[in-house]
Amino acid sequence: MTEITIPIEGELLDDLSARFYLVERAARDERYARQGSALAHFTVGRVDGLTMRIRVKDHTLPHFHVVYNGEDASFSIIDCSRMRGTIGLERYYGVIRSWWECNNQMLIEEWNNSRPANCPVGPIRLPLPRSL
């Protein structure tokens, strides 16, 4: 039997990614309820094959990770700047920035909701200063 592959792009891909995210979020919320702070990371979004994650026990400034094809780069939740010392995924920064612009409030909420009691980096205080 011949296999036919049809690429999924544009709004259809975005819709599919959003649906994957909702399924993963429900599963994550269930695991988090069972395991609490034992959960290492969770996916907060997907776009064009890029996976955006927050690591629960991270101890640096509030940030999210973008993972793709074996590369892992970190970006500030506050302004989407690349975290110091992070390399990789430079060619995807436009996609990452665009995703961040639409989802930065959700990132702040997810970061704040995922801080374990013993985490040295607490929640992001709102409202943010106007200079950001």
Q: Which pLDDT belongs to residue 73? A: 94
Q: What's the CA gap between 35 and 124, in Å, rounded?
A: 23
How far, in Å, are 15, 27, 62, 103, 107 from residue 79 at the CA level?
25, 28, 10, 12, 11
Q: Which pLDDT belongs to residue 82? A: 95
Delimit the domains of the chain by residue range: 10-114
Q: Phi, psi (5° rounding) for residue 39?
A: -70, 125
Low-confidence ranges of the chain (pLDDT < 70): 1, 3, 5-8, 13, 18-19, 21-42, 58-59, 117, 119, 126-132
Q: Which pLDDT belongs to residue 66? A: 94
Q: Which pLDDT belongs to residue 37? A: 46
| C-alpha 76: how far from chain center | 11
